[in-house]
Structure 1
Amino acid sequence: MKRVILCAVLMSGFSVSAQQVTVSVVDVSGKAIVGAVVEMVAPQLNAYSPIPKTYVVSQYDKAFTPYILAVPQGADVVFKNEDSISHHLYSLSDVAAFSFRLKAGERKEDIEFEQAGAVSMGCNIHDWMSGYIRVVTSPVFAQTDKNGEVTLAVPDGVDQADITAWHPQLQESLTVSWATEPAVRLQATMEMLPIPTQESSSDIYFERAMRAGGY
């Protein structure tokens, strides 16, 4: 099976070398961490920015899809309700606070995320829903696949960097120094928190409450 090479699209004039680095992110027992946000950080990258694109967080089957979305600083994010019911999305995060209602099939356009960091999201109607947007400062970033791996294309002129990994269930920061090695591994030293269950055993109650509230 071919490995997908993931790297944020850079502005024109930023050349990418033939060098690549495969990053593995695993938990304390060596099990793959899926969806971790991997970021390459180096002074040479500070002058460059990703080409603007639209990122989407959907609400489907009363869950955020994807559970974790990585975006570059300054990115616009579209929130799209693909359910047949309403949602009232919110975040109380210092990085980006918001609150708005989306009826079935509606979308909220162009919410800009200007500050770097983690944004936790929820729904006031379906309180088991949770999701995250991770706003990164580097133009070179990606998220790990089902094997806990991602391959980054290294920009030309970069031969040293820090590579970090973030996941909302990690209880620690994961960072490794990289210097042209073809592969690096980041392993947690603490147990991860469990991912919250994205469903409720009391759907009937929530649906009745939603209708009573005019949603």
Structure 2
Amino acid sequence: MRHVFISLLLVVTALHGTVANAAGLTAEVVDAQGKPLADAVITLHGATPPPAGSLKADMDQRDQQFAPYVLAVHTGTQISFPNSDHIRHQVYSFSTPKRFELRLYGGTPSDPVLFDKPGVVVLGCNVHDNMIGYVYVTDDGWFGVSNAKGSLTLDQVPAGHYTVTLWHPQAADMLPLPGGDIDIPADGLKQRFSLAVTPNAEAAPAAPPSSAFGDAFHKAAHE
């Protein structure tokens, strides 16, 4: 019985150590006016490698829009492009990190698309010019996209020193921007980040629908 008790004690101690070392980052992203900024990508670069996981993701199409609008993935992720609409779409990208085209289809193509190079990939639809989406491919181990309230949580990020990178579709020249260095303590960190963005031309009613993808593509092509 004593041997069993000692074994249980060691297991509990090990689990406690795992929980104690699990920190995390709770981030709030705002624009230059201090308003919550949705669809902002935060990545953390540090010495601690990320946990191994399945490098798979989905970029859906619903109501003639890409869902999510911004998808962040690690380099080497295979992305499926299901079409949840009752009409067909033809997804493509001319962006340097990933050029591809999925011919006119409904449902879900059988083969996912491998995103094997870091960078910003602008998605469009040959049938619906108003459809624009973004895939942010990163080599950094920890990353996330802010929600409608401008917040995101990166769970289980080990305590340590990290370099932050920020990105948003409406950032200047659509390039990643430095977010500074942070130290995440063992009990986690709450941090606010500010990111200057330009007005969303894609939502401007006066702009021709066909110009939206072209503007986004030209930004990506010159990153």
Q: TM-score, normalised by structure 2?
A: 0.73
RMSD of Structure 2 on Structure 1 (CA): 2.6
Note the alpha carbon deviations across 1:47-105, whole angstroms, 9 max, x for none: x4641142111111111111111111100000111122221111001100001213232
Question: Which residue of structure 1 lines up, in the alignment, with residue 73 of structure 2?
Answer: 71
- Kindly report which structure 2 residues correspond to 1:5-84, keeping only aligned pairs within 5 A, or say none: 17-45=21-49, 48=50, 50-84=52-86
- Kindly report which structure 2 residues correspond to 1:179-194, keeping only aligned pairs within 5 A, or say none: 179-180=183-184, 182-188=189-195, 190-194=196-200
SS of match in other structure, 1:141? strand
Residue of 98, 105, 108 corresponding to 2:107: 105
Q: 1:106 to 1:159 in 2, by over 3 A?
A: closer
Give aligned-pair identity as a percent.
29
Aligned residues, how many? 184
What stretches of structure 1 move > 6 A for 4+ residues in a row?
Answer: none
Q: Are 1:164 and 2:180 an aligned pair? A: no
Please say which of residues 89-98 and 78-87 is displaced more in the overlay.
78-87
Shift of 1:41: 0.7
**Quick one: distance in 2 between partners of 1:74 and 1:177?**
26
Shift of 1:151: 2.2
Please say which of residues 33-42 and 17-26 is displaced more in the overlay.
17-26
SS of match in other structure, 1:162? strand
Question: Which residue of structure 1 lines up, in the alignment, with residue 155 of structure 2?
Answer: 153
Q: 1:44 to 1:20 in 2, by over 3 A?
A: closer
**Conserved 8 A contact 2:170-2:200:** yes
Shift of 1:108: 4.8
Note the alpha carbon deviations across 1:88-136, whole angstroms, 9 max, x for none: 1110011000012132324353211000111001011111110000111
**Quick one: distance in 1 between partners of 2:51 and 2:119?**
17
**Conserved 8 A contact 1:35-1:145:** yes
Note the alpha carbon deviations across 1:16-56, whole angstroms, 9 max, x for none: 723222211110001111121111111333xx464114211
Question: Which residue of structure 1 lines up, in the alignment, with residue 221 of structure 2?
Answer: none
Give the number of the structure whose residues are more often helix, by fraction: 2
Q: Unaligned 5+ residue runs, structure 2?
A: 1-17, 210-223
Please say which of residues 126-135 and 54-63 is displaced more in the overlay.
54-63
Question: Which residue of structure 2 lines up, in the alignment, with residue 196 of structure 1?
Answer: 202
SS of match in other structure, 1:81? coil
**Quick one: distance in 2 between partners of 1:134 and 1:122?**
15
Q: Unaligned 5+ residue runs, structure 1?
A: 1-14, 204-215
Residue of 132, 135, 144 corresponding to 1:133: 135
Tell me the amino acid that sits aligned with residue 167 of structure 2: W
